[in-house]
Amino acid sequence: MPRTHRPSVTIGDVAAAAQVSRSTVSRAFTRPQLLSPETVDQVRAVAARLGYVGNQAARALSTGRFGNIAVVVPDIANPFFPPLVRSMQLAAETADLAVFLGDSDESAEREAKLIARLAPQVEGFVLASPRLAEDLIRELAATRPVVLVNRDLDGIPRVLIDSSGGMTEALMLLKKLGHQRLVYLAGPRDSWSDQQRREVLTSAAAGLTVDVIEVGRPSYAAGRDSVSAIVRSGATAAIAFDDVVSQGVLAGLELRGISVPSDFSLVGCDDTLAALTTPALTSVSAGAATAGTAAAKLLAQLLDSPDPSAECVTISTHLVIRATTAGPPRRQNPRG
Amino acid sequence: MPRTHRPSVTIGDVAAAAQVSRSTVSRAFTRPQLLSPETVDQVRAVAARLGYVGNQAARALSTGRFGNIAVVVPDIANPFFPPLVRSMQLAAETADLAVFLGDSDESAEREAKLIARLAPQVEGFVLASPRLAEDLIRELAATRPVVLVNRDLDGIPRVLIDSSGGMTEALMLLKKLGHQRLVYLAGPRDSWSDQQRREVLTSAAAGLTVDVIEVGRPSYAAGRDSVSAIVRSGATAAIAFDDVVSQGVLAGLELRGISVPSDFSLVGCDDTLAALTTPALTSVSAGAATAGTAAAKLLAQLLDSPDPSAECVTISTHLVIRATTAGPPRRQNPRG
DNA sequence: CTGAAAGCGCTAACAG
DNA sequence: CTGTTAGCGCTTTCAG
C-alpha cells in the first residue's frame, strides 16, 4: 500500500541492523532494565549510527503519550515572554518534551481556539498570563495537566512571580528619597500581575499618595502618551506596569524637557529592557526565565505522576536600582 | 491487549452507532464529495452527538500529514526573533497549521537534535538564521519542505532580509553628514546577515574608511566593551551589527563621557529596540515580522504543492533616522 | 532476557 | 456510492 513516502529510519531498520527484534529495540529505549546492559548498549549504538529517532506519532498511537507540551502566551513579542519561553523550552528538552508555541494576541477567544487546536496532540499546557476565563481554564485542567504562570487559580498548579517584594522596595526607596506623590501606570485589568501590583501600591503606600493612571495594553506609545496625565497629577515619580511602558514614559518626559532622574523618577517592572537602555532603568526584577524553568519542571513532574495536590511555586522579586531614580526636584512641580 | 486506557470515542464507535463502515465515517470528514450528502450529514450528526474528535496521531501515522510545522531559531530571547516567530505563528494559524518552537541556543549541534526530534511530527520546517552546516540543511530539505530565513542556499526556498539598501543609506547619510572614518561592529561570522552587511560596508564604502571590529556573539556587554577599540580607531561614527550591540555601545560611550550624537554617531540594525529607547536609535529596519509571514506562507504553499522551483523572497530594508546620528564633532573644542 | 504477534485509530487502495 | 482490507511505526502482553 504505497502512500505518502517518508524516508525515515524506523525501529525495524535498527532491529535489522542490530540483528535483534523490534521489541528489543523498543525496550532498549523505553525499559532498558528489562534487557541485558550489553544489548542495550549495542542497540543504542546502532540506533545512534543510523540516526534513529522514535516516531512520536506512532508511539503516541500506541501509548497515548505524545511527548508534546504547549505553551501559550498573550504576545511573544512582549519582551517579558521570550526568556520565559526560552527557558521553558530548554527545560522541556531535558525531559524529552517538544513544545508547541501559541500566541493568543492578547485575546481570550484566540487563546481558546489555540488550546482546542493543540489539545489533541499535547499532554499538558503551560498557560502564561492567560486571558482566558477561569471556568474555561478549570475545564481544561480537568482534562490534562495545566500549569499557570502569573495567574492565581486555587487548585491549579501555578508559578507566580510575586511583585510585592520589589514593589514594596520601590515604594520605600521613593519615600526615602523624599517623594510624596507618585503615580502607577497600570496595565491590563485582566492581568494578574497588574492586579497584584495595583494592590500593593494602593494598600501599602506607606504614607505616600499614589494615583493610578490606566494605560490599557502596555506599549511604548501608551507610556509616552500618558505623560500629560502624569504631569497633571503633580507626581514626582512614577512606577510603570512594565519596562516597555516605562521606556515610553521616559521618551514622553524627554519630549517635554523633563529630565530623568533630576526632575522626575521612574521605576519599571520586569527588568526586561531596563539594563539594556541608556539611561539604564530602575526596575523590579521578574525572573521570567526562572519562572519558565519552574513551569516546565512542574509540568514534566505532573506528567510523570499526576499529583492531585496542586503545587504553587512563588518567585520573589527585588528592586534593581539603576539610573532613573533620585530625589524629587527642589521646586514643587517639575515644569508644571 | 489492555493498555493505557484512553476513554475517547473512536471512529469505530461512530461507525457502529451510524450503522456504516469505518471508511464511511472517515470519508465523511476527509472527502465528503465521495459520499452521498445524506450519509455525510447523518454520520456527522452521530459523530457530533458522540463527541467524536479525530485522533491526530492516528491520522498522522496513516497519512504522513500532521498539520504541524516547526520553527527553529538560534535564540528566541534575541529581540530580532519574537516578531518573526509571532507573525509566522499567526500566519500558520490561518492555514490551520500548529507550530512547534525550537531554540537551538546558537548551537548547530542542538539545532540538529531539535530538528531530528521534531521531524517525525512535522510536515515542514522554517529555519531562521540556522547555524547548521549546509549539507545537513540540504539533507533535511530533501526529506520535506524547508524554508530558510536569512540563509542563502541556492535551490532551497528562502526569505532573505536584504540589508544592503539600508546599509547603503546609512553610509550615504554618514558621508553627507561629514564623517570620514567609521567602524562596523561585526556579528557572528556564520551569520548570513553579518556577511552581507560586512560586504556592503567594505565594498561600497563610497570613499569612507571603515574598520571592522569583531564583537563575537552580539550582546549588550559585547557592544559596551568594544568602545575602547572604537575610540582607538579614531572613528567618528559606528554601525553596529544589531540594536542590542548598539545599545551597549551607547552605554559604553556615555560611560566615557562621549555623548551621542554630538560627539559620536551611531547606527544600529534590525530596528528591534531602536524605537523603544531613549535616545531613539538610528537603525536599519529589518521587517522581521514581514519575513515571518512570508516564510509561513511560503511553507504552507509548499505543503500544498511541493513545487520544485525554489522560491526566494527578498525583503528590502531602509534606514530609519532617529536621534543618534549627526555630523562629526568639530575639530576644535566648541566655545565654552 | 528476548522474540512473536496483536493491536493503538485512522486512511487509502481496491473491489463491488 | 460504500464496504473490505491492509497497513502507518510503535509498544506490550505472552511465550520461550
pLDDT digits (tens, 9 = 90+) for B167-209: 999 999 999 999 999 999 999 888 899 999 999 998 877 789 9
Q: How many CB pairs under 8 A join A and B?
A: 154
Q: Locate the domains of chain A by residue range.
A: 11-63, 68-161+288-314, 162-287
Please tell me which residue lies nearest to nucleotide C1, judged from CA to C1': A35
> Residue type at B234?
G
Q: Look at residue A5 and tell me whether its pLDDT is greater than 60.
A: no
pLDDT tier, A7 (very low <50, low <70, confident <90, very high otherwise): low
Cβ-based contacts of A276 with chain B (< 8 Å):
220, 244, 247-248, 273, 277
pLDDT in the model for residue A61:
85
Pairs from A213-219 (Cβ < 8 Å, separation ≥ 24): A213/A183, A213/A184, A213/A185, A213/A186, A214/A186, A215/A185, A215/A186, A215/A187, A215/A241, A215/A245, A216/A188, A217/A106, A217/A188, A218/A78, A218/A187, A218/A188, A218/A242, A218/A244, A218/A245, A219/A244, A219/A245, A219/A248
Question: Between residues B309 and B104, which one has the greater pLDDT?
Answer: B104
Q: Looking at the predicted structure, is the pLDDT value of residue A14 above 70? A: yes
pLDDT at A330 over 80: no
More confident residue, B88 or B33: B88
Choice among A60-64, A219-223, A251-255, B254-258 with the minimum mean pLDDT: A60-64
Helix axes B81-94, A81-94, angle to 10 degrees: 80
Half-sphere exposure of B176 (CA within 13 A, CB side): 7
The rounded percent of chain A whose pLDDT value lies above 90 is: 69
Q: Check if the beta carbon of residue A266 is closer than 8 Å to that of residue A177.
A: no
Tell me the nearest-neighbour CA distance from B175 into chain A, angstroms. Answer: 26
Instruction: Please tell me whether residue A197 adopts helix, strand or coil conformation.
Output: helix
State the amino acid at position B124 in one-letter form. Answer: G
- Asked if B244's CB is within 8 angstroms of A276's CB, the reply is yes
State pLDDT tens for residues A141-153: 988 899 999 999 9
- Measured between beta carbons, the chain A residues lying within 8 angstroms of B62 are 3
DSSP B334: P
3-state secondary structure of A181: strand
The yes or no reply on domain A162-287 and CATH 3.40.50.2000 is no
pLDDT for B6: 45
Mean pLDDT within A50-79: 89
Query: How many CA within 13 A on the CB side of residue A261?
Result: 23
> Which B residues in the span 256-295 are in contact with A, Cβ-Cβ below 8 Å?
273, 275-280
pLDDT digits (tens, 9 = 90+) for A228-274: 999 999 999 999 999 999 999 999 999 999 999 999 999 999 999 98
With a 7 Å cutoff on the CB, does A59 touch strand D? yes
Buried b (16+ CB within 10 A) or exposed e, B105-124: bbeeebbbebbebbbbbbbb
What is the H or E stretch that residue B238 is in?
strand B237-240
Q: Give the residue with greater pLDDT, A131 vs B61.
A: A131
Averaged pLDDT score across all residues of chain B: 90
Q: Is the pLDDT of residue B244 over 50?
A: yes
Determine the pLDDT at residue A314: 95
**Residues B43, B12 contacting (CB under 8 angstroms):** no
B80 at the A interface (CB within 8 A)? Answer: no
Q: Which residue is nearest to nucleotide C7 (CA to C1')?
A: B1
B90–A8 C-beta distance less than 8 A: no
Distance separating alpha carbons of residues A133 and A110, to the nearest angstrom: 12
Distance, in Å, from the CA atom of B30 to the CA atom of B38, rounded to the nearest integer, reads: 16
pLDDT tens-digit map of A159-191 = 999 999 999 999 999 999 999 999 999 999 888
Average pLDDT of every residue of chain A:
90
Q: Is B162-287 the same fold as B68-161+288-314?
A: yes
Amino acid making up residue B143 = T
> What span, in angstroms and rounded, lies between the C-alpha atoms of B147 and B129?
11
Residue whose grid cell is 486506557: B5
Burial of B282 (0-12, 13-18, 19+ CB in 10 A): buried
Report pTM: 0.88
Section A53-71 average pLDDT: 88
Q: Of the CATH numbers 3.40.50.1820, 3.30.470.20, 3.50.50.60, 3.40.50.2300, which one belongs to the domain with range B68-161+288-314?
A: 3.40.50.2300
Q: What percent of chain A has pLDDT over 70?
A: 96
Q: Which fold has domain B11-63?
A: 434 Repressor (Amino-terminal Domain) (1.10.260)
Chain B contact set for A116 (CB, 8 A): none
Yes or no: say if A242 and A218 are a contact pair by the CB < 8 Å rule. Answer: yes
Please give the residue of chain B at the shortest CA–CA distance from A92: B102
Provide, in whole angstroms, the distance separating residue A23's CA from nucleotide C3's C1'. 8
What is the distance between the alpha carbons of residues B6 and B227, in angstroms, rounded to a whole number?
Answer: 61
Parallel, antiparallel or unpaired: strands B158-162 and A312-316: unpaired
Question: Chain A within 8 Å of B29 (Cβ-Cβ)?
Answer: no
Residue A206 pLDDT: 77
- Burial of B327 (C-beta count, 10 Å sphere; 0-12/13-18/19+): middle
Alpha carbon B57 to chain centroid, angstroms = 28
A282-285 and A319-320 strand pairing: antiparallel
CB contact under 8 A, B120 and A76: no
pLDDT, residue B36, reads: 87
Specify the nucleotide whose C1' lies closest to residue A18 (CA). Answer: C2
CA A229 to chain centre: 30
Q: A269 is written with which cell numbers?
A: 517592572
With H, G, I as helix, E, B as strand and everything else as coil, classify residue B147.
Answer: strand
State yes or no: pLDDT of B4 exceeds 50. Answer: no
Distance CA B6, CA A106 (A): 33
Among all protein residues, pick the one whose CA is nearest to the C1' atom of D11: A62
**Which are the contacts of B292, defined by CB distance < 8 A and separation ≥ 6?**
B83, B84, B85, B86, B87, B88, B91, B149
**pLDDT tens-digit series, residues B70-87:** 999 999 999 999 999 999
Residue B31 pLDDT level (bands cut at 50, 70, 90) = confident
